[in-house]
Amino acid sequence: MLEQREELSREENSAKTGDRQQSDSEGKGPSVDVNMVFMLLMEFLAPFSDDEEADFLDQIAHLALDLMTAIFEKPANNERQHLKALFVKGRVDGQPMTKILVDGGAAINIMPYVVYRKLGKGDQDLTKTNMMLNDFEGNVSPVKGAICVELTIGSKTLPTTFFVISGKGAYNLLLGLDWIHANCCIPSTMHQCLVQWIGDKIEIVP
């Protein structure tokens, strides 16, 4: 009986070897599905008491392979009792800029002509356009032109087109839906910050 088992085992091995040789001779190796499992020995686990077990499970790091999601937390009563507009800081072509208004009620990006001149730009840098804008009083005024600059908010830089107007406002730049959607960000006037995605990561800009 033992000899029969050994003979059968030799036949199976020779058959497998023959299949492997035949497969190799055709230039294709054997196809095998491999599932990988990573395990960490218990000896590497930090010690903790029974009382700390619940806290430890809440604080343990998890590997996230999905896209990162952004969550706005509910602010306290004293944190939302304000009527502030959302202003951020940034850079325009490398020059620092304050009082940048993020306004979800505007469709386009606006730059006052005074700010345009402070950036060292001249009329020759403007792209002429026949666009007309309505102000809050319903008055219609022509746009002086458009200009594309490198706008940096937080650590993200995007080429952004602004329409230059002759009027003045309580802002140096106004960022509307054109920039909000192109920048893939969510502004919150209540939280006084905006969340923007940089690839699959998020950044909170106060």
pLDDT digits (tens, 9 = 90+) for 39-55: 556 555 566 566 655 55
For residues 203 and 193, what is the distance between their CA atoms, to the nearest angstrom? 10
CB-based contacts of 90, cutoff 8 Å, min separation 6: 96, 97, 100, 151, 152, 153, 154, 173
Q: What is the dihedral of CA 38, 39, 45, 50, to 10 degrees?
A: 110
The pLDDT, as a whole number, for residue 75 is: 87
The encoded tokens of residue 168 equal 């003045």
Tell me: pLDDT of 5 over 80: no
Tell me: pLDDT of 147 over 80: yes
**Amino acid identity, residue 76?**
A
CB-based contacts of 129, cutoff 8 Å, min separation 6: 143, 145, 146, 163
Structural domains of the chain, ranges and CATH numbers in brackets = 89-205 (2.40.70.10)
For residues 152 and 158, what is the distance between their CA atoms, to the nearest angstrom? 7
The encoded tokens of residue 159 equal 């080429």
For residues 150 and 135, what is the distance between their CA atoms, to the nearest angstrom? 26
Q: What is the pTM of this model?
A: 0.65
For residues 120 and 169, what is the distance between their CA atoms, to the nearest angstrom? 20
User: What does DSSP assign to residue 47?
Assistant: P
Buried b (16+ CB within 10 A) or exposed e, 117-138: eeeebeeeebeeeeeeeeeeee
Q: Using one digit for the tens of pLDDT, what is the confidence trace for 50-99?
A: 665 555 555 555 555 566 677 788 888 888 899 999 999 999 999 999 99
